[in-house]
């Protein structure tokens, strides 16, 4: 998933629902009034239509108000993939057919949640008339008939997603997919109600009352630019675990406002982006600090069709010119980790953390960027004087953080390599259009993983993938990725990914990673029971509660 | 009088027409594609589907005709690109009143305080009080509104816990934003009031009233106010319309679901229908309020003869 | 009755018949205005302060030549003002004295250029419209009304975006396009009120061409109003630029303006207030001095207050 560079981690506040007596595992008194306030760092969400909503904020709202086949939780300090909408599932011996046995659950309007609704949802996302930006994930996973249907070459009936009966869902793939299971907690596998879609037509998803909810909470108010309000969903199958009676998510785009709101007690948790605020909140002493990784890499990439960046040595020179430690302290403000490789720390391959198995490629590189540049310039027969090089650097926004990024790179590339950089700040829509047209030399952006498998960071660079148009095509790379897609053998896949990462960063140097985004949240001490799984869209509130709020 | 009204009305329609056309043309001249982020990961066929759905693949002139037809016949301003399924009309209906409330409060704040300061300064013209008062008024104009808003928010929500930092729904949510917005307007009204009061004060009839022993307060309310307030009334026209688009920064900081913010983000997202729709809305407001003010002006001030104005 | 003889009378000459003349020395409008202005202490002080700021804007960065505008240095970020960095440093370790005065330069240039644009276009347009009156005036006024009705922000944003944010010129163009309307209207109004004066009639009778009449006879008499409008226009352009910078559409990096400095310092207000303080102070002073000077100037140039 592409995010606007500089977007703050979507931080969720937890409001605890108080449930009476039985469930508290602690001896503290649970507050009588169980509610929580967590800010959304955006203006608004685009839509509540699960097939069309692509942003993190709506993903978070879905996480709390709906239930997919699985749910990300944290048990015993470890991230677990909990069976949620489905009680259990199994895959056939040839790895191609997945069968899901659903749990008994009801929608907030009392109707039963059925397998047909999950099937309908998947097919709807693939519907070419809906033109969902996420259809590619379903197609990439290899669901039979998905690709044809989505590109109008086939019919919806040919999509191999079937409700065998009310509580059994069957999905057939073209070939085994090693990461298919990892997709199950995402919005692609939320059920949708066909009757409501047909009833509201175009208006479906534009207001909260055009949907019903099957998750821990249901939405009772949504005012764009103001706030989202949810209450405990009494129809939810696991409602006895839910202690909060009310969750409020105010939209707070301005960073200062969020910081002020935490101090004044209006919100219960916030994600922090600078060291100064970290120190300040620590000093106030009323909050717990939560630090962690995020599956989000910030990086520069090069347009390999332009004069200078055709050459791999020149690209590498630019990549190595960056002093990642210095950059990390200054631009990333010390939150997260400097990135000497592409795949972030949080991603797992199988049960292992990818990064623990694959050392960071660019660390300890001994090559001299200036020399590389000189060699590269010679290879393309250009003037050996670097000051004659003028590079267009495209940035995805006009706000302060993008300006800092631009100023910094301008400075670095001038002092380390002697090249002149012109920064082009653009609004998001325009920025995307420029990239698609290939009108840039170098570009800054970030990439957020869609699911917990390294593949989400690799399939975007395949030939023909239209995620970032950089004119790069490499047969060896493609072969490695196809291999990793087709096998279930995790150690083989690890090897493939490792080789692929080397190609991306060292041999071809088509990208220059800058830093891995981190999470640094401050949560009021009276908030308990929240969970922050890595691939969740925000704090999991299902088990949360408050204790000691008004002390 | 009727003739004048009709004439003005016709001019209003023509003006509106030109504004809308101009905005349409300028809007489409901006590079950038509203569906860029939607259409990215889609195979070509689907991308075309999307464009077709929004009518973006038709030539500009056809799009223009469609838009104007919808506007004139059905008052339908179309559907937003950024928010699928949401009509521009509903956006304006929901958000405009919010900005209107804040802007209105800010206007009131600025005008009332401005008038009071202006009168005081006029009476004490040339003395220290005159300078102090004008100085206070001018401070408001010299600080950018985002600075004022940030300061206000910090002091009154964190240090003093008097008001909520953000949000909308109750009276208390409107106070800080209105003050932040109105602060910068005090000086404008104060200066105009001061100047026009000075002129009026120098008139003979004021001297007469003063000589007759009329108290200052009565002087002000009975004689000076009505005559001196003319320039301020003329400013009301444009001020009312600008209320709707000038609130952007404040709405951002205080998380107010108003139209200023929506409008600016629609420009950056190239959400053409919202841009056009909001422009039409604000332009209509502006033109109508100028028109009303002109009529009022003619009614209040006997020296101005409407017939001769044209 | 005593006899009156020639001896008792002395011929004084004809000079006494000058008693109808104006008693005070004959000074021109300009001289009188200047005299009144000088007497206005606040206005004079403002003028002096303004000149000081102008000089600092030009000279400021040269006083600390060792620091560039975009010299990023991770080791000296966010330092409070001290002997080495007179205004302190910013988020990226850049010296704020240099950046503030560089920003002031750009802001002032924008202000002056915008005002100049407004002056030229507004005066010509308003002059023609006011002088010719009738149909010409009607059409031209309608056009002005139309332009005025497009919300300022829309026009500015659209123009800046069309030119893709490149450089200061589109910025000035965008702001100027919406600004000249006020000047044109002012000029037109003034011309209406003086064009029926007798000296204009005389000039017409003598056969002067319209353009000559406008520029030689009418304009000098409304110079007062024009000047006053300019002194308020300059700061308003500077302010508008600050607003645009806040949205991200003002001056682009690595160039900076006072508006950019203010908006990038705002997030740090709680921790490093000095970063916001300096550029705000400079904007504040520029606005203040222009306004106070403008006030004084308008009082001085007001013929009704002639002493």
**What is the CATH T-level fold of the domain A35-252+526-546, as seen in this structure?**
D-Maltodextrin-Binding Protein; domain 2 (3.40.190)
- Would the CB atoms of A203 and B85 count as touching at under 8 Å? yes
Q: What is the pLDDT of residues C206-261, one digit of tens each?
A: 887 877 776 666 666 677 777 777 877 888 788 788 878 877 777 777 788 888 88
In DSSP notation, chain C reads: -PPP-GGG-----GGGGGGGS-SS----HHHHHHHHHHH-HHHHHHHHHHHHHHHHHHHHHHHSTTS-TT---GGGTTPPS-SSSTT-B-TTS-BHHHHHHHHHHHHHHHHHHHHHHHHHHHHHHHHHHHHH-HHHHHHHHHHHHHHHHS-HHHHHHHHHHHTTT-SHHHHHHHHHHHHHHHHHHHHHHHHHHHTTSHHHHHHHHTT--HHHIIIIIIHHHHHHHHHHHHHHHHHHHHHHHHHHHHHT-SSPTTS--HHHHHHHHGGGTTT-HHHHHHHHHHHHHHHHHHHHHHHHHHHHH-GGG--
B170 CB within 8 Å of a chain A CB: no
Decide: A246 and A34 in contact? Cβ < 8 Å. Answer: yes
Q: What is the pLDDT of residues A538-549, one digit of tens each?
A: 899 999 999 988
DSSP A111: P
In DSSP notation, chain B reads: -HHHHHHHHHHHHHHHHHHHHHHHHHHHHSS--TTTTTSTTS-HHHHHHHHHHTTTTS-HHHHHHHHHHHHHHH----B-SSSTT-BHHHHHHHHHHHHHHHHHHHHHHHHHHHHHHHHHHHHTTTSHHHHHHHHHHHHHHHS-HHHHHHHHHIIIIIIS--S-SS--SSTHHHHHHHHHHHHHHHHHHHHHHHHHHHHHHTSHHHHHHHHTT--HHHIIIIIIHHHHTHHHHHHHHHHHHHHHHTTHHHHHHHT---HHHHHHHHHHTT-HHHHHHHHHHHHHHHHHHHHHHHHHHHHH-TT--HHHH-
C6 class by beta-carbon count within 10 Å (0-12 exposed, 13-18 middle, 19+ buried): exposed
Min distance B112 CA to chain A CA atoms (Å): 29
Residue of B142, B145, B287 lying closest to C287 (CB–CB):
B142
Q: Which residues in C lie closer than 8 A to residue A400 (C-beta atoms)?
A: 263-264, 267
Task: Return the residue of A nearest to C162 by Cα.
Answer: A430
Chains that touch A (3 or more CB pairs under 8 A): B, C
Q: Where are the alpha helices (DSSP H) in A451-542?
A: 455-458, 475-486, 490-502
C151 CB within 8 Å of a chain B CB: yes
Comparing CA positions, the residue from A214, A197, A213 lying closest to residue A205 is A197
Using CB atoms and an 8 Å cut-off, which of residues 135-164 of chain C contact chain A? Answer: 161, 164
Q: What average pLDDT does chain B have?
A: 77
Chains that touch C (3 or more CB pairs under 8 A): A, B
Task: Return the residue of C nearest to A273 by Cα.
Answer: C267
Q: Which residue has the higher pLDDT, C24 or A210?
A: A210
* Sequence-separated (6 or more) residues with CB below 8 Å from residue C231: C290, C291, C293, C294, C297
Q: Which residues in C lie closer than 8 A to residue B29 (C-beta atoms)?
A: 158, 162
Q: Which residues in C lie closer than 8 A to residue A406 (C-beta atoms)?
A: 253-254
Structure confidence at residue A394 (pLDDT): 93
Decide: A475 and A156 in contact? Cβ < 8 Å. Answer: no
Q: What is the largest CA-CA distance in chain A?
A: 77
Using CB atoms and an 8 Å cut-off, which of residues 3-42 of chain B contact chain C? Answer: 11, 14-16, 18-19, 22-23, 26-27, 29-32
Using CB atoms and an 8 Å cut-off, which of residues 269-298 of chain B contact chain A? Answer: 269-270
Decide: B270 and B30 in contact? Cβ < 8 Å. Answer: yes
Task: Return the residue of C nearest to A331 by Cα.
Answer: C92
Structure confidence at residue B16 (pLDDT): 78
Structure confidence at residue A19 (pLDDT): 34
- Would the CB atoms of C72 and A423 count as touching at under 8 Å? no
In this prediction the pTM is 0.83
Min distance B22 CA to chain A CA atoms (Å): 22
C-alpha distances in angstroms, B221 versus A277, B192, B214, B235? 53, 17, 11, 21
Q: Which three-class secondary structure state does DSSP give residue A366?
A: coil
- Would the CB atoms of A427 and B268 count as touching at under 8 Å? yes
In angstroms, rounded to a whole number, what is the distance separating the alpha carbons of residues C132 and C191? Answer: 10
Q: Which residue has the higher pLDDT, B193 or A36?
A: A36
Structure confidence at residue B264 (pLDDT): 78
Q: Which residues in C lie closer than 8 A to residue B11 (C-beta atoms)?
A: 142, 145
Structure confidence at residue B251 (pLDDT): 85
- Would the CB atoms of A428 and B269 count as touching at under 8 Å? yes
Domain A293-517 in CATH 3.30.70.100? no
Domain assignments of chain B as residue spans, ordered by start: 95-269
Structure confidence at residue B298 (pLDDT): 63
- Would the CB atoms of A330 and C93 count as touching at under 8 Å? yes
- Alpha-carbon torsion angle A309, A313, A315, A319, nearest 10: -170
In angstroms, rounded to a whole number, what is the distance separating the alpha carbons of residues A439 and A436? Answer: 8
What are the strands of the beta sheet with A227-232, ordered from one edge?
Answer: A35-37, A246-250, A227-232, A217-223
Indicate the pLDDT class of residue A409, thresholds 50, 70 and 90: very high
Residue of A256, A412, A425 lying closest to C165 (CB–CB):
A425
Q: Which residues in B lie closer than 8 A to residue A250 (C-beta atoms)?
A: 166-167, 255
How many residues are recorded in chain B? 310
In angstroms, rounded to a whole number, what is the distance separating the alpha carbons of residues C47 and C295? Answer: 11
Structure confidence at residue A543 (pLDDT): 93
- Would the CB atoms of C284 and B29 count as touching at under 8 Å? no
Using CB atoms and an 8 Å cut-off, which of residues 31-50 of chain A contact chain B? Answer: 43-44, 46-47, 49
Average pLDDT over residues C174-198: 76
* Sequence-separated (6 or more) residues with CB below 8 Å from residue A158: A144, A145, A148, A149
Domain assignments of chain A as residue spans, ordered by start: 35-252+526-546, 293-517
Indicate the pLDDT class of residue B146, thresholds 50, 70 and 90: confident
Decide: B274 and B88 in contact? Cβ < 8 Å. Answer: yes
Structure confidence at residue A499 (pLDDT): 95
Indicate the pLDDT class of residue C302, thresholds 50, 70 and 90: low
List the structure tokens of C88.
Answer: 């302190």
* CATH class of the domain whose range is B95-269: mainly alpha
For C32, other C-beta atoms within 10 Å of its C-beta total 16
Dihedral sign for Cα A178, A181, A186, A188, please: positive
For C24, other C-beta atoms within 10 Å of its C-beta total 8
Residue A266 has pLDDT above 70, yes or no: yes
Residue C31 has pLDDT above 80, yes or no: no
C-alpha C285 chain-centroid distance: 14
Q: Which residues in A lie closer than 8 A to residue C72 (C-beta atoms)?
A: 330, 407-408, 411-412
What pairs with residue A81 in β-bridges?
A72
Residue of C151, C154, C266 lying closest to B146 (CB–CB):
C266
Indicate the pLDDT class of residue A23, thresholds 50, 70 and 90: very low
A101 CB within 8 Å of a chain B CB: no
Q: What is the pLDDT of residues A112-153, one digit of tens each?
A: 999 999 999 999 999 988 878 888 888 888 899 998 998 888
A140 CB within 8 Å of a chain B CB: no
Q: Which residue has the higher pLDDT, A365 or C304?
A: A365
- Would the CB atoms of C72 and A330 count as touching at under 8 Å? yes
C247 CB within 8 Å of a chain A CB: yes
Task: Return the residue of B nearest to C260 by Cα.
Answer: B144
C256 CB within 8 Å of a chain A CB: no
- Would the CB atoms of B154 and A256 count as touching at under 8 Å? yes
């Amino acid at each position: 998933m592409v995010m606007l560079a500089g977007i703050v981690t979507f931080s969720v506040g937890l409001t605890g629902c108080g449930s009476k007596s039985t469930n508290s595992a602690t001896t503290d008194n649970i507050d009588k009034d169980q509610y929580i306030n967590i800010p959304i760092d955006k203006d608004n969400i685009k839509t509540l239509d699960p097939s069309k909503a692509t942003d993190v904020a709506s993903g978070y709202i879905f996480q709390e108000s709906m239930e997919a086949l699985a749910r990300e939780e944290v048990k015993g300090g470890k991230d677990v993939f909990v069976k949620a909408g489905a009680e259990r599932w199994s895959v056939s011996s040839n790895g191609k057919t997945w069968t899901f046995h659903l749990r008994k659950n009801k929608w907030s309007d009392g109707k039963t949640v059925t397998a047909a609704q999950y099937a309908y949802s998947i097919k709807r996302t693939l519907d070419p008339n809906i033109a969902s930006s996420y259809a590619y994930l379903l197609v990439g996973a290899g669901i039979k008939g998905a690709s044809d249907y989505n590109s109008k070459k086939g019919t919806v009936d040919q999509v191999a997603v079937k409700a065998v009966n009310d509580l059994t869902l069957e999905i057939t793939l073209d070939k085994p997919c090693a990461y298919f299971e990892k997709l199950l907690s995402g919005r692609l596998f939320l059920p949708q109600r066909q009757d409501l879609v047909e009833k509201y037509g175009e208006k479906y998803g534009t207001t909260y009352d055009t949907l019903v909810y099957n998750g821990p909470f249901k939405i009772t108010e949504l005012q764009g630019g103001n706030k989202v309000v949810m209450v405990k969903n009494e129809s939810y199958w696991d409602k006895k675990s839910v202690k909060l009676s009310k969750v409020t998510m105010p939209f707070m785009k301005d960073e200062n406002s969020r910081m002020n709101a935490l101090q004044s007690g209006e919100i219960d948790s916030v994600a922090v982006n600078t060291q100064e605020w970290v120190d300040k909140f620590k000093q106030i002493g009323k909050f717990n600090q939560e630090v962690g990784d995020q599956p989000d890499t910030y990086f520069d990439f090069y347009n390999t069709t332009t004069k200078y960046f055709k050459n791999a040595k020149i690209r590498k020179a630019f990549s190595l010119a960056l002093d990642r430690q210095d950059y990390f302290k200054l631009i990333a403000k010390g939150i997260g980790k400097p990135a000497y490789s592409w795949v972030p720390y949080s991603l797992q391959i199988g049960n292992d953390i990818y990064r623990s198995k694959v050392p960071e490629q660019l660390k300890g590189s001994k090559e001299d960027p200036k020399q590389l540049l000189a060699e590269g310039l010679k290879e393309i027969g250009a003037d050996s004087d670097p000051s004659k090089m003028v590079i267009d650097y495209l940035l995805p926004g006009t706000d302060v953080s993008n300006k800092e990024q631009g100023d910094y790179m301008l400075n670095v590339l001038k002092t380390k390599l002697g090249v002149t950089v012109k920064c082009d700040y653009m609004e998001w829509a325009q920025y995307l259009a420029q990239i698609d047209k290939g009108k840039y030399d170098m570009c800054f952006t970030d990439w957020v993983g869609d699911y917990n498998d390294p593949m989400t960071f690799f399939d975007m660079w395949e030939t023909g993938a239209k995620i970032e148009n950089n004119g790069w095509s490499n047969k060896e790379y493609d072969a490695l990725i196809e291999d990793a897609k087709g096998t279930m053998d995790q150690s083989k896949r690890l090897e493939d990914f490792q080789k692929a990462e080397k190609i991306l960063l060292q041999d071809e140097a088509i990208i220059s990673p800058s830093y891995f985004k981190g999470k640094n949240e401050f949560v009021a001490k009276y908030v308990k029971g929240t969970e922050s799984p890595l691939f969740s869209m925000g704090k999991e509130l299902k088990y949360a509660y408050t204790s000691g709020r008004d002390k | 009088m009727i003739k004048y009204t009709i004439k003005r009305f016709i001019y209003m329609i023509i003006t509106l027409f030109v504004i809308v056309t101009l905005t349409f043309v300028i809007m489409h001249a901006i590079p950038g594609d509203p569906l860029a982020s939607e259409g990215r990961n889609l195979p070509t066929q689907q991308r075309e589907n999307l464009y077709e759905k929004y009518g973006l693949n038709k030539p500009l002139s056809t799009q223009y005709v469609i838009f104007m037809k919808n506007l004139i016949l059905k008052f339908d301003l179309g559907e937003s690109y950024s928010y699928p399924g949401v009509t521009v009309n509903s956006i304006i209906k929901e958000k405009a009143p919010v900005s209107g409330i804040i802007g209105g409060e800010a206007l009131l704040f600025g005008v009332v305080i401005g008038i009071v300061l202006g009168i005081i300064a006029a009476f004490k013209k040339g003395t220290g009080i005159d300078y102090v008062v004008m100085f206070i008024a001018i401070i408001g104009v010299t600080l950018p509104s985002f600075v004022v808003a940030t300061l206000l928010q910090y002091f009154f929500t964190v240090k003093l816990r008097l008001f909520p930092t953000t949000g909308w729904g109750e009276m208390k949510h409107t106070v800080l934003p209105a003050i932040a917005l109105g602060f910068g307007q005090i000086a404008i009204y104060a200066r105009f009031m001061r100047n026009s009061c000075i002129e009026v004060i120098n008139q003979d009839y004021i001297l007469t009233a003063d000589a007759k022993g009329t108290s200052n307060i009565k002087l002000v309310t009975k004689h000076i106010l009505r005559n001196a307030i003319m320039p301020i009334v003329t400013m009301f026209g444009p001020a009312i319309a600008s209320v709707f688009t000038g609130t952007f920064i404040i709405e951002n900081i205080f998380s107010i679901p108003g139209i200023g913010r929506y409008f600016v983000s629609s420009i950056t997202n190239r959400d053409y229908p919202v841009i056009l729709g909001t422009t039409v809305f604000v332009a209509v407001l502006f033109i109508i309020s100028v028109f009303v003010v002109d009529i009022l002006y003619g009614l209040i001030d006997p020296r101005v003869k409407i017939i001769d104005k044209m | 009755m005593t006899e009156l003889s020639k001896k008792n009378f002395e011929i004084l000459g004809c000079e006494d018949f000058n008693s109808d003349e104006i008693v005070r020395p004959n000074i021109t409008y300009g001289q009188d205005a200047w005299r009144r202005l000088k007497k206005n202490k606040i206005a004079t002080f403002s003028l002096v302060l303004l000149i000081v700021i102008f000089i600092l804007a030009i000279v400021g960065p040269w006083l600390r030549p060792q620091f560039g505008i975009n010299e990023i240095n991770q080791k000296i970020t966010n330092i409070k003002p001290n002997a080495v960095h007179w205004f302190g440093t910013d988020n990226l370790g850049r010296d704020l004295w240099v950046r503030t005065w560089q920003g002031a330069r750009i802001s002032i240039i924008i202000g002056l250029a915008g005002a100049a644009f407004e002056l030229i276009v507004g005066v010509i347009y308003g002059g023609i419209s006011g002088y010719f009156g009738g149909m010409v005036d009607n059409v031209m006024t309608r056009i002005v009304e139309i332009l005025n009705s497009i919300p300022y922000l829309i026009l500015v944003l659209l123009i800046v975006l069309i030119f893709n944010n490149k450089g200061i010129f589109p910025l000035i163009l965008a702001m100027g396009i919406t600004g000249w309307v006020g000047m044109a209207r002012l000029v037109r109004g003034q011309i209406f009120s003086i064009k029926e004066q007798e000296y204009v009639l005389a000039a017409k009778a003598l056969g002067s061409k319209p353009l000559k009449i406008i520029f030689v006879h009418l304009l000098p008499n409304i110079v007062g109003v024009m000047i006053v409008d300019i002194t308020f226009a300059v700061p308003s352009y500077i302010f508008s630029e600050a607003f645009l910078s806040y949205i991200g559409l003002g001056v682009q990096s690595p160039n900076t303006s006072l508006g950019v400095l203010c908006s990038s310092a705002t997030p740090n207000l709680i921790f490093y207030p000095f970063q916001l303080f300096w550029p705000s102070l400079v904007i504040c002073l520029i606005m203040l001095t222009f306004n106070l000077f403008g006030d004084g100037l308008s009082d001085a140039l007001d013929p009704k207050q002639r002493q």
